Structure 1
Amino acid sequence: MIYLHWAILAIYSLTVVAAMVTVLMDRRQPAKTMAWVMVLLFLPLFGIVLYFFFGQNTRKEKLVSQRSLDQLTKRSMLEFAAQRNLKIPEDCAALVRLFANQSMALPFKDNQVDIYTDGYAFFLSLIKTLGAARHHIHLESYIFEDDSLGNLLADILIDKAREGVEVRVIYDDVGCWRVKNRFYDRMRAGGVKVCSFMPVKFPAFTGKVNYRNHRKICVVDGKIGFIGGMNVALRYLRGRRHRPWRDTHMKLEGGLVYALQRAFLIDWYFVDRTLITSRVYYPELNPAIDNDCLGQIVTSSPIQPWPDIMQGYVRILLEAKHYVYIETPYFLPTEPILFAMRTAAVAGIDVRLMIPMHCDAKLVEWASKSYVAEVIEAGVKVFFYDKGFNHSKLLVSDDFICSCGSTNVDFRSFENNFEANAFFYSREMACKMKQIFLDDQANCLSIEEVRKLFHTPFLQRLWESVIRLLSPLL
């Protein structure tokens, strides 16, 4: 027995050493490297479990081959090249190039956008659009709940599949961990093609749990698309725990639907290994949509070389001339975002941050407070939304640039999750987003009231600082 004890200890020690070497060779930020080394050294067993679940770096892995990516991109590039009189304003040219060079996020003009700020308006529009589908429905959601709303949408998808419409659904395996397989099996039996994203099953139950598909995308017939922050769940209609949910979602028509289609088809290839490039998924656009609404669909993921959306946020903050307004349900910013926010605020830019008064995850709420105190000290105006839970993820700057999608201002969204945001370079769109922010601000606590919340006892501040160490995992 004594030899078995030493054998187990030796195997464990070698595993820890191997993990530490891997962390060092990943060349992460020194603070992150030191944090993981300390966890592995001083948390026996628990530390190695944490590393296998949350510490492995997949950013360098090529999970989609470049050849397949080129094939999936070719069709949208042809449609991009067909655009007439495409002009990129000088004010946003560098940002547009950043996204285009890093992940082929091509800019498209001639877009019509409807913005929804409540679940009733969004889901009524989605149901109407799904009902009118004639060729295909592509739906991707982090959460697809087995509730009355989820079952209603499932029934619609099954009916459309029986009519001969191609229906493809992607759901995240961890986001839907409470949903029984029979819910998706019913859709499959009805002719719907359903795939889970990175299913977490033994014995492969390791780093997959850390890299989730948080995107919310829908494309119908290649002509209409939806993107934003709302999952398929009844809470967006009736709230949760007697608290209404506020969120922002968009319906797109025009060139950006091509980019949204490309994003979905890349994800479909990722989960199903089926390469879909036919012209029928990129139909001719409505010639009646002729405007200067310029936009990009920007995706980010841990397998891309760079954190595209985070880099875009940093650039917008550092190049702002007048203001930057941000809404996010979770505020656990990465160091570049924290630096950019503080730098902009100290430079006299009107930086406003809106977060919920009460979060749906207590650990996140505690960890967030120390970051909030930092940005307040730099001059950022923080607003706590107090009319329910604000799950909205939007940014608007200088009455010209705005963004909305699935990305939270936290480590998980910027570094670990598969996310998708629409970026617009349009005065009309920016002013609409700005008004949404100002309308939400009317339901927030004042700056003075927020400041009073941070006069807390020493032990509470210490606890919040300790929980902050877990920010990359929350």
Structure 2
Amino acid sequence: MIDFIKDHFWSILIIANYALAISAIVTVLLKNINPTKTVSYIIILALFPFFGLIIYYLFGQQYRKTKIFNRKHIINSNIIQSASKSMKMEGKDLRKINEKLDDKIKLVKLLRASERSPLTVRNEVDILFNGEVKFERLLTDLNNATKHIHIEYYIIKDDTIGTKVLDVLCEKARNGVEVKMSYDDVGSKLTSKMKQRLNESGVEHFPFMPVLFSSLTGKSNYRNHRKIAVIDGEIGYVGGINISDNYVNNESSTLYWRDTHLRIYGEAVKVLQFHFLTTWDFVTEASIEIKDSYFPETICEKDVAIQIAASGPDTDWANIMEAILTAINNAEHYIYITTPYFIPNDQVVTAMQIAAKIGVDVKLIVPKNSDSWIAQHATNSFLEPLMEAGVQIYRYSKGFVHAKTMVVDEVFSTIGTCNFDNRSFNINFEINALMYDIEQSKLLKAKFLEDLEDSEIINLEDWIKRPRFDKLKESFSRLWAPML
């Protein structure tokens, strides 16, 4: 028997590969997912032995359907139920929102169907442009914390800015402030020395879904891309800026980094707190004590209406993508989108094309030079049909644009972690703040128009004449679009 296996080792491996591949293909077919994605997986499984199986097990599993992210303990908490009730709008608040939104009320109704996305009214916000502005405010708020600090980030590095943040966390923990920190195990880099410092200072910290060579399955794909900071339950941060030197523009920067973040004071912070606690419940794998102090009553005189939309394997629906689609479909005057990764699904492409064709001013800013070769070429493959429909596309050339924003008709705007790609829409954990406020929309619109001055518009006629080899690279990269 052993001799037979030795003599036919590779044949046995090939047979085993295709037996598993056939099983995977049947599974993909039965899921009835997007046909393009289905065909992509079938081609890879059929034509690339072994490699195809690796790709499938890394990217093909649907955790939203398998419900491995259990949130029942958190959702059923009496304290959270009480906090949710306290956010219910009074009649005068609802009338005020109706006046602001006019016929954009459909967007609110979409997310209000989810108990996790209540519409909050009593909020004060500051839009923070670029990392150097965000970290100045964040460090001040962290230093002023008296009760608790909750941090959840895709990228936390113990480089210069990261060490400044971590130093404050350690100091606060030593002084009796509760500090909890969750970081994605793929995106973050913390040295053993820093982890030891955190432990000795009393900072509770856990990696999100650790990836080990012995357990490399779909866990390397479903990453926590959220960026949340909650301070004393009153101040919250959400947006595109991770904790790393890459996001700060100073004299030592080699690349200008254009990004956007949001600081919130008010009721919407309770929703950010909820999402942090659900993640914390998952990463610690233990019951968490939910305290009343996590959800304090805040006195806020401002009335910026905000919904916090989260999506990922822990949500039943692709909430952020649905919100974006609804906003695009309801636009009457303009849609201005900034994203570092633009690899959209058919629904988003069609919605943008229809909006442009009926006269809506649709503009898109993407990086001129991406940090991913395959993502940049995949993005390029989507641009021509959009421009043919009248969408104006600009490539940011001052540096790298990482902001993830959209503003529509000076009524609706969103800032968050979600890119315009399949990974953000359907695979990773993402979170966005949806704002219904004229003043904030005008600020984002003004910044968008300012960014256009540092961008190059793509001319359709010139774009069509680009080298055939470039088109081939784009077509090849687009084959991977459902998995990027």
Taking structure 1 as the reference length, what is the TM-score of the superposition?
Answer: 0.95
1:466 aligns with 2:482: no
SS at match of 1:227: strand
Asked whether the 8 Å contact 1:116–1:122 carries over to 2, the reply is yes
* Aligned 8 A contact 2:239 2:262 in 1: yes
C-alpha change, 1:346 and 1:82, in structure 2 (3 Å) is closer
* In the alignment, structure 1 residue 81 sits paired with structure 2 residue 88: yes
Superimposed CA distance per residue, residues 75-107 of structure 1 (whole angstroms, 9 cap, x where no aligned partner): 431221375732142533321121121352001
**2:125 aligned partner:** 113
Aligned length: 470
More off after superposition, 454-463 vs 60-69:
60-69
Mapped pair 1:252 → 2:257: no
The counterpart of 1:171, out of the listed 161, 183, 186, is 183
Q: Are 1:363 and 2:374 matched, yes or no?
A: yes
* Aligned AA (2:23): A
SS of aligned partner of 1:403: strand
Alignment equivalent of 2:152, drawn from 130, 140, 145: 140
Work out the CA distance in 2 between the residues paired with 1:410 and 1:159. 39
**Distance of 2:244 and 2:64 partners within structure 1:** 30
CA–CA separation in structure 1 for the residues paired with 2:231 and 2:91:
24
Whether 2:58 is the aligned partner of 1:53: answer yes
Residue in structure 2 matching 1:279, options 286, 289, 292: 292
Structure 1's consecutive aligned runs of 4 or more residues displaced over 6 angstroms after TM superposition are none
Instruction: Name which of structure 1's ranges 149-158 and 85-94 shifts more when overlaid on structure 2.
Output: 85-94
Paired residue for 1:2? 4
Q: Unmatched 5+ residue regions in structure 2?
A: none
Higher mean alpha-carbon deviation, 263-272 vs 165-174, is at 263-272
- SS of 1:291's equivalent in the other structure is coil
Deviation per CA, 1:258-307: give whole Å up to 9, x if none.
11111111111121133343211111102xx2233111011000342221
Which one of 87, 90, 106 corresponds to residue 94 of structure 1?
A: 106
Indicate yes or no: 2:345 matched with 1:334.
yes
C-alpha separation in 1, matches of 2:454 and 2:12: 61
Are the counterparts in 2 of residues 133 and 221 from structure 1 also a CA contact under 8 Å?
yes
Pairwise CA distance, 1:329:
0.7
Deviation of the 1:40 alpha carbon: 0.6
Match of 1:38 among 43, 65, 68: 43
CA distance in 2, matches of 1:82, 1:193: 35
- Counterpart selection for 1:290 from 270, 283, 301: 301
Kept in 2, the 8 Å contact 1:395–1:402? The answer is yes
Cα distance change, pair 78–411 in 1 and its aligned pair in 2 (3 A): same
User: Does the aligned pair in 2 maintain the 1:328–1:354 contact within 8 Å?
Assistant: yes
User: Are residues 30 and 472 of structure 1, via their aligned partners in 2, closer, same or farther at CA, if it must alter by over 3 Å?
Assistant: closer
Structure 2 match to 1:222: 233
> After the TM superposition, which residues 166-245 of structure 1 pair with which residues of structure 2 at under 5 Å, given as runs?
166-176=178-188, 178-238=189-249, 242-245=254-257
Q: Which amino acid aligns with 1:132?
A: N
- Structure 1, 329-338 or 123-132: larger mean CA deviation: 329-338
1:444 CA displacement: 1.1
List runs of 5+ in structure 1 lacking aligned partners: none
Work out the CA distance in 2 between the residues paired with 1:443 and 1:46: 41
**Distance of aligned partners of 1:451 and 1:256 in 2 relative to their CA distance in 1, 3 Å threshold:** farther
1:470: how far off?
1.1
Alignment partner, residue 156 of structure 1? 168
Contact 2:413 2:441 in 1 (8 A): yes
Is contact 2:384–2:463 with CA below 8 Å preserved after alignment? Answer: no
Secondary structure of 1:298's partner? strand
Rounded to whole Å, the distance in 2 between the matches of 1:203 and 1:36 is 24
Alpha-carbon distance in structure 1 between the residues aligned to 2:355 and 2:455: 23
Q: What is the Cα deviation at residue 462 of structure 1?
A: 1.4
> Structure 1 residue 149: deviation in Å?
1.0
Partners of 1:20 and 1:37 within 8 A in 2: yes
What value does the CA root-mean-square deviation take over the aligned residues? 1.9
1:27 paired residue number = 32
CA deviation vs aligned residue, 1:417-455 (integer Å, no higher than 9, x gap): 10000001111111111111111112111344x763552
Percent identity, aligned pairs only? 36
1:140 is paired with a residue of what secondary structure? strand
Q: Distance in 2 between matches of 1:83 and 1:225?
A: 23
Q: 2:449 aligns with which of 438, 450, 474?
A: 438
CA distance in 1, matches of 2:82, 2:390: 46
CA distance in structure 1 between the aligned counterparts of 2:342 and 2:54, rounded to whole angstroms: 26
Among candidates 302, 309, 318, match of residue 313 of structure 2: 302
Shift of 1:403: 0.3
